[in-house]
């Protein structure tokens, strides 16, 4: 790791179209944006039944099901699972088994749940599989990404020593020494990615038209840390200027309006607000660290930032969890709202309320986990993760583990449990419906993979 990055303590999760299922309740799932997505399915339905009849892989407890990984499309529109078999795994989607692979990496399910793409090790080489079909051997592949409509799929693949971009299975670039982070814009008419043609040319942030495959924008010495706004109308990345850096922010249209931020020694943790109107990041200049919101700076005290930044929905503040020698605590910038400052042994999953006046996060003291809502500690569990506010900000939903049972709870802002739902073997991250009247989540119940909808 670059020495500057180690000082910055950078952690930037990449948003996926699929939510990973917790098989062993590691409980460190990264939340993924649901902005501008189709409504969640609001009826309980069994999406699939797990078939382990072909599994001959030995496991510790004699059950193949104990090693199954499950992937739900995050509105409940589809599901896939990987089942152990002799010499590897098979991915099952819509009751169709893919080839045997030795290991499985990134998985994406299309927005309507009808298609799947995943990268996996097969016969000693990395390959992309689309609906079970082998797209060819590679030395490395990027994460597969579907367009919002699900009509297109893009990924990068390294063949021998050369990287290529593949759109709907067809090679659309002439060859680069490096490609990373391909994404679609919201309409699915543009591609955004970073690429380097050869050793004598700089890394470029590239925007190209899907229809013509022509480049409409190219920003030199730029592309590291590429992120898109939740609505996919804007992109931001780090541009290198000699030994310094700044942020390049693009509005994604044919003209691609570009704006540049201030120059720093190091830049990182690029984060868009939920509505895409505001951009926050961390900048270091002359040994001093700042949280930057658009063009404003706020001093950042010493500490580790392991989980990135959260921009207030009203765009007037930024919060993060800061890990110091005294423990984890909340740090805020550009806001005078009184937030809890008590340190905890461990903390994660910081979220800001819809009215931008409250925060919640999971915290640990000793062996006990609980959710903190504006300083109020909720009930104690063996593990608690991923709190989310209801649309009106009056409730929280999150997953917990207690006495080896996993279940979902809903609490009010006083930390009192309003609803505690049935325990299941595996539970996906829950979501509120847009009206806040139900919560929905995927579960594994025996051999059934079920999208559960619970009324409040």
pLDDT tens for each residue of 372-383 = 999 999 999 999
* CA 429, chain centre distance (Å): 12
List phi, psi (to 5°) of 331.
-120, 140
Cα separation, 206 vs 258, whole angstroms: 12
Q: Which of 5-19, 134-148, 168-182, 387-401 has the lowest mean pLDDT?
A: 5-19
How sure is the predictor about 87, in pLDDT bands with cuts at 50, 70 and 90? confident
List phi, psi (to 5°) of 67.
-115, 15
Q: Which of 4-8, 323-327, 406-410 has the lowest mean pLDDT?
A: 4-8
Q: How many helices (H) and strands (E) does the chain have?
A: 1, 42
Mean pLDDT of all residues belonging to the chain: 87
How sure is the predictor about 1, in pLDDT bands with cuts at 50, 70 and 90? very low
pLDDT of 5 above 70? no
pLDDT number for residue 254:
63
Q: Which residue is listed with tokens 């506010």?
A: 389
pLDDT number for residue 378:
96
In terms of Cα–Cα distance, which of 171, 164, 122 is closest to 141? Answer: 164
pLDDT of 363 above 70? yes
pLDDT of 64 above 70? no
How sure is the predictor about 42, in pLDDT bands with cuts at 50, 70 and 90? confident
Pairing of strands 153-159, 79-85: unpaired
pLDDT number for residue 51:
85
Distances (CA, A) of 152 to 94, 113, 132, 206, 251: 19, 13, 16, 18, 21
What's the full length of the chain, in residues?
Answer: 456
pLDDT of 65 above 50? no
How sure is the predictor about 208, in pLDDT bands with cuts at 50, 70 and 90? very high
DSSP string for 367-415: TEEEEEETTEE---BSEEEEEEE-TTSSEEEEEEEETTEEEEEEEETTS
Cβ-defined contacts of 385-388 (< 8 Å, 24+): 385/27, 385/28, 385/29, 385/348, 385/349, 386/27, 386/29, 386/31, 386/349, 386/362, 386/429, 386/430, 387/349, 387/351, 387/360, 387/361, 387/362, 388/31, 388/351, 388/430, 388/431, 388/432
pLDDT number for residue 3:
37
User: Strand order in 234-241's β-sheet?
Assistant: 222-228, 234-241, 244-251, 258-260
pLDDT number for residue 154:
97
Q: What is the mean pLDDT of residues 23-27?
A: 35
In terms of Cα–Cα distance, which of 141, 115, 145 is closest to 128? Answer: 141
Distances (CA, A) of 290 to 2, 17, 223, 246: 19, 32, 21, 13
Q: What is the mean pLDDT of residues 297-311?
A: 93
How sure is the predictor about 271, in pLDDT bands with cuts at 50, 70 and 90? very high
Q: Which of 12-16, 149-153, 354-358 has the lowest mean pLDDT?
A: 12-16
Contact 263, 241 (CB under 8 A): yes
**Domains delineated in the chain:** 17-142+426-456 (no CATH), 152-171+186-300 (2.130.10.10), 317-423 (2.120.10.30)
- Give the DSSP H/E element, type plus range, for residue 87: none
């Amino acid at each position: 790791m670059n020495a500057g990055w180690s000082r910055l303590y950078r952690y930037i999760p990449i948003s996926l179209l699929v939510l990973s299922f917790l098989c062993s309740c590691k409980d460190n799932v990264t939340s993924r944006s649901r902005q501008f997505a189709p409504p969640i399915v609001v009826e309980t339905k069994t999406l699939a039944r797990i078939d382990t009849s072909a599994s001959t892989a030995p496991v510790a407890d004699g059950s193949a099901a104990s090693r199954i990984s499950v992937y739900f499309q995050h509105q409940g529109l589809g599901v896939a699972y990987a089942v152990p078999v002799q010499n590897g795994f098979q991915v099952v989607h819509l009751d169709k088994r893919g080839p045997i692979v030795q290991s499985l990496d990134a998985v994406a399910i299309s927005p309507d749940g009808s298609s799947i793409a995943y990268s996996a090790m097969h016969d000693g080489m990395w390959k992309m599989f689309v609906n079970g079909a082998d797209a060819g051997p590679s030395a490395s592949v990027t994460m597969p990404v579907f367009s919002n409509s699900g009509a297109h799929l893009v990924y990068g693949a390294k063949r021998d020593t050369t990287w290529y971009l593949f759109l709907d299975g067809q090679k659309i670039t002439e060859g680069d020494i490096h490609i990373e982070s391909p994404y679609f814009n919201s309409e699915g008419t543009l591609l955004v990615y970073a690429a380097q043609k050869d050793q004598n040319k700089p890394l470029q942030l590239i925007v190209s038209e899907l229809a013509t495959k022509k480049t409409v924008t190219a920003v030199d010495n730029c592309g590291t840390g590429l992120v898109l706004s939740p609505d996919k109308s804007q992109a931001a990345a780090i541009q290198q200027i000699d030994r310094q850096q700044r942020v390049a922010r693009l509005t994604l249209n044919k003209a691609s309006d570009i704006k540049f931020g201030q120059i720093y020694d190091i830049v990182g943790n690029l984060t868009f607000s939920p509505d895409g109107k505001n951009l926050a990041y961390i900048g270091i200049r002359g040994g001093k660290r700042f949280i930057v919101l658009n063009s404003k700076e706020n001093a950042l005290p010493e500490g580790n930032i392991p989980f990135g930044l959260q921009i207030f929905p009203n765009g007037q503040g930024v919060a993060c969890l800061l890990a110091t020698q005294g423990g984890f605590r909340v740090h805020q910038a550009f806001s005078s709202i009184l937030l809890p400052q008590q340190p905890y042994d461990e903390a994660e999953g910081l979220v800001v309320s819809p009215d931008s006046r409250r925060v919640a996060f999971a915290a640990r003291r000793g062996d006990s986990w609980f959710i903190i809502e504006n300083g109020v500690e909720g009930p104690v569990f063996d593990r608690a993760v991923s709190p989310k506010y209801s649309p009106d900000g009056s409730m929280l939903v999150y997953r917990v583990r207690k006495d080896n049972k996993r279940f979902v709870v809903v609490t009010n802002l006083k930390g009192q449990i309003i609803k505690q739902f049935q325990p299941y073997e595996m539970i996906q991250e829950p979501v509120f419906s847009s009206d806040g009247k139900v919560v929905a989540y995927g579960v594994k119940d025996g051999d059934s993979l079920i999208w559960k909808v619970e009324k409040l």
